[in-house]
């Protein structure tokens, strides 16, 4: 997918720079989706799994292929939710602005 971030494992690196994974960590999309899902069913939310880890910061060269995030590659879902974003962009603001906060995680 295009846009400012969220490149997956195997995607081509669009520009040389330092990238971080947007899925893992306490502010990651994984944590946010789980939090919303828990709130919907009235359960208290606690960080678990990749939400407790520090997202990596790695430098990639333009034209290379994104690897799996070291935190997300063995995700308990069995899939690879890795989502790389350029560290120079404030990706969390993109997420808030582009996707809103209401529907994330619905039907996951
Ligand atoms: Zn990750």
Whether the model pTM is above 0.85? no
Ligand 1 center from residue 74 Cα (angstroms): 10
Domain count across the chain: 1
Percent of the chain that is helix, strand, coil (3-state, to 5):
25, 15, 60
Q: How far is the CA of 55 from the centre of ligand 1 (A)?
A: 6
C-alpha 53 to ligand 1 mean position (Å): 8
Q: Is residue 28 part of a domain?
A: yes
- What range defines the domain where residue 90 resides? 5-73+80-99
Q: How far is the CA of 54 from the centre of ligand 1 (A)?
A: 8
Asked if residue 55 is part of any domain, the answer here is yes
With CA atoms as reference, report the closest residue to 59 among 16, 105, 107.
16
- The answer to whether position 104 is within a domain reads no
pLDDT tens digit string along 60-108? 999 999 999 999 987 777 889 999 998 875 555 555 555 444 544 444 4
Decide: 62 and 11 in contact? Cβ < 8 Å: no
Q: Measure 69 CA to ligand 1 centroid, in angstroms.
A: 5
b/e sequence 68-100, b meaning 16+ C-beta within 10 Å:
bbebbeebeeeebbbbbbbbeeebeebbeeeee
In a domain, 105, yes or no: no
Tell me, yes or no, whether 107 lies in a domain: no
């Amino acid at each position: 997918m295009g846009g400012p971030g969220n490149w997956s494992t195997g995607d081509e690196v669009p520009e040389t720079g330092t990238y971080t994974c947007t899925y893992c960590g306490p502010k990651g999309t994984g944590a946010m989706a789980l939090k919303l899902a828990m709130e919907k069913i009235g359960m208290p939310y606690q960080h678990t799994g990749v939400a407790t880890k520090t997202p990596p910061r790695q430098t990639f060269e333009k034209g290379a292929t994104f690897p799996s995030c070291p935190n997300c590659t063995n995700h308990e879902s069995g899939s690879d939710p890795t989502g790389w974003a350029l560290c120079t962009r404030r990706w969390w603001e993109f997420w808030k602005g582009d996707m809103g906060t209401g529907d994330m995680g619905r039907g996951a």
